Structure 1
Amino acid sequence: MLRYTLAFIRHDGKILMINREKNPWQGAWNGVGGKLEPGESPEECVVREIGEETGVSIKRPVFRGIVTWNPDSEPVQGMYVFVADIRNMNGLSTPMGTREGILEWKSEEWVLSESNYGTVPTLRVFMKAVLDIDGHRPADYHCTFDHNRIIETEVRPLPVKIR
């Protein structure tokens, strides 16, 4: 089982992103999420983390795959990735500072831009497919790092049951 979850919350062509307050990737924009607690499913974790970090209540996030990585020849690490579409922003006004960083709605176009180096680098590898719920099946989006630089990427099919 992987140790982390990540969610991309969408509303009206925008994605709620967080500019990370701490490492890894301090100062980079990413989705919201966090560490699984003992006995918690990935879906339960991501729902809890979204609530804690944003105040937004999500009922059924859509599982979109996993992102795995090998940092500097270490063992594989990873996270479960979800997308949640919301109709109402529930009073969430951004930018908004939190203990995790600064939340802000970013346009999908901005997030998906190949010229965007302000996001966590793995987003350029998997983000477009993760957001395309109808066109792409969940997959394992794998990145191999040399220090903070991605040196290899691979999209791998998921086993039937990964949880």
Structure 2
Amino acid sequence: MDYRDLSFVQYKILSGFIRSPGLSYSHAQPENIDRDLYKYHLKFLVEKGILSKSGSVYRLTDAGKKLVQYLDVHGDTHPTFKISVLCYVLRNHSELLMQKRLRQPFFGDIDVISGKIQPGETPENAAVRKLAEESGLSASFSFLGVIRKVRRWPKTEIFEDTLYHICLAENPAGNLVTVNDFGENMWVSLNRVPDLISGNMTYTPNSLRLLELISAPPKETFYIHEDITLSRI
């Protein structure tokens, strides 16, 4: 069960167990929560294996301990970083694999293939997986560095906050899938890339800086931070 599937009342019940190894029925009831409502949701948490009952004491199960790591002691959840990978794939050191995005947000932007890193997955393995899923190609990747992209819209409201791991591969194998549900894939000459990406909704000077870094990879890993306000999405 995912923590995002829980209700507000269930969050409040579980918050009490963050601060205690075990609670009785009466001590586990949050303030300002109706008794019948509390009884219903407590039973639900036990049935789902999030709480266990031994005698008169309720305790978090291992599954419950996994869920409450996303809560604070007041039972509130907070957004976390997205963790993703950017797949820079070169051919003959003169062309870059790019994708015209055919999904929201940023529909129509042209950039490299990207995607979320799954739990337990290395950035390099995520890049291998995303490249295969979205282009049909295979390659070995090396990790170069990280760029954190904070994107605000409208005005100061955070629209996205993602840590992108930059991974580089050269001369992939296989036949390129040019169009699929992810977008339109194409090889683009490196000298054409700056003009092609300049119209992106997410374009910043760091877009060019990353091109420089993958063209001449540094010996040490790098970290870049950017915080921008988008004009449109």
User: Does the TM-score normalized on the shorter chain lie above 0.5?
Assistant: yes
Q: Deviations over 1:8-52 (max 9, x none)?
A: 111121111000112332211111121111221211111111111
Q: Secondary structure at the match of 1:16?
A: strand
Report how many residues are paired. Answer: 143
The answer on 1:132 being equivalent to 2:216 is: yes
State how far apart, in whole Å, the 1-side matches of 2:106 and 2:224 are.
Answer: 18
More helix by share: 2
CA contact (8 A) 1:69 1:142 kept: yes
Quote the residue 1:105 is aligned against: 187
Q: Secondary structure at the match of 2:211?
A: helix
Amino acid at match of 2:116: K
Instruction: Percent identity, please.
Output: 22
CA contact (8 A) 1:125 1:141 kept: no
State how far apart, in whole Å, the 1-side matches of 2:145 and 2:99 are.
Answer: 20
CA change 1:34–1:76 in 2 (3 A) is: closer
Quote the residue 2:27 is aligned against: none
Amino acid at match of 2:215: L
1:1-163 equivalence runs, <5 A:
3-12=83-92, 13-59=94-140, 61-72=141-152, 73=156, 74=158, 76-86=161-171, 89-92=173-176, 96-113=178-195, 116-119=197-200, 120-122=202-204, 123-133=207-217, 135=218, 137-148=220-231
Q: 1:2 Cα deviation (Å)?
A: 5.3
- Structure 1 alignment gaps of length 5 or more: 150-163
State how far apart, in whole Å, the 2-side matches of 1:112 and 1:137 are.
Answer: 25
State how far apart, in whole Å, the 2-side matches of 1:62 and 1:136 are.
Answer: 12
**With structure 1 as the length reference, what TM-score do the two structures score?**
0.75
**With structure 2 as the length reference, what TM-score do the two structures score?**
0.54
- Structure 2 alignment gaps of length 5 or more: 1-80
Q: Secondary structure at the match of 1:5?
A: strand
CA contact (8 A) 1:130 1:136 kept: no
CA change 1:49–1:125 in 2 (3 A) is: same
CA change 1:51–1:70 in 2 (3 A) is: same
CA contact (8 A) 2:109 2:197 kept: no
Q: Which has the higher contact order (CA 8 A, sep 6+)?
A: 1
Larger Rg: 2
CA RMSD of aligned residues (A): 2.5
